Amino acid sequence: MESEPTRGGTRWKRFGVVMVPSIAATAAIGVALAQGALAASFSVSGQEFKVSASHLHGTGFLQYGAVDAQGNGGVPVAVSAFKTATINDLCQSVVIPDVPFVGKVSMVLKAGGGSAPVEAKDLYIDLNQLNADATFTNINIGIAAGDANPNGAVMKGKPEMADPGSFAQEADAADLTNVQQTAWATSAGTFQLSGLSMHVSAGDHECY
């Protein structure tokens, strides 16, 4: 894992091959994240992953079109940026196919399921599908996609390759419930995962 703005620190396809010797290191990283000690990034080399939450409240919201750099080229995404965010019942999952001697392997991360939600600062999500009930406060659609907006969320640059000529919107705050999305990358300046639970198992076990 690397601090923002670098994207995609952990290569989960490699994780499937070196799973056994990596368990202790992964657990240590999980504890540090739960204590809010690390910046965080999550990506799967050339593969989407799923994220769900019962509720997300974010401030300093900015969304714009970009191209997420991948090993096989680039994929178009909508980047959702939040200056701060609280997330209830966060679930993040990825299924790695064709792991030698095992077949499919699922990694599922859950947090914020109790009274304390997940807390994030400078949160960026590169997504290509989102299903949710959404409420925006003081929304402005079609703004010029510059380097920043008055609400504090800042556009990311390479390797995301933001397109200044694409669509963009901003809002003072955003509330999303019953969130289901597929994403290519998630990163945050600080990610505090209360009640962190991380599980790796054979088979197909996704958040939704």
Residues 113-122, mean pLDDT to the nearest whole number? 93
d(CA 104, CA 99): 6
User: 135 - beta bridge partners?
Assistant: 175
Instruction: Give the per-residue pLDDT at 19.
Output: 38
Strands 103-111, 140-141: pairing is unpaired
Return the DSSP state at 170. E
Return the DSSP state at 44. B
Residues 177-196, mean pLDDT to the nearest whole number? 90
In the chain, pLDDT over 70 holds for what percent of residues? 66
Instruction: Give the per-residue pLDDT at 207.
Output: 94
List, in order, residues 6 or more apart from 89 with CB less than 8 Å away. Answer: 52, 53, 54, 55, 110, 112, 113
Residues 11-20, mean pLDDT to the nearest whole number? 40
Average model confidence (pLDDT) across the chain? 76
CB atoms inside a 10 Å sphere around CB 207: 20
Return the DSSP state at 32. H
Look-up: residue for tokens 């940026």? 81
| pLDDT reading at 35 higher than 90 | no
Phi-psi region of 27 (alpha: psi -120 to 50; beta: other; left: phi over 0): alpha
Q: How many CA atoms lie within 13 A of 6 on its CB side?
A: 8
Residues 161-165, mean pLDDT to the nearest whole number? 56
Domain ranges of the chain: 12-202
Indicate the pLDDT class of residue 76, thresholds 50, 70 and 90: confident
Residues 48-70, mean pLDDT to the nearest whole number? 89
Please provide the DSSP assignment of 43-109 as one string: EBTTB-EEEEEEEEEEEEEEEEEEEEEETTEEEEEEEEEEEEEEEESEEEEEEEEEETTTEEEEEEE
Short-list 89, 32, 35, CA closest to 57: 89
d(CA 201, CA 88): 24
99 compared with 59, residue with greater pLDDT: 59
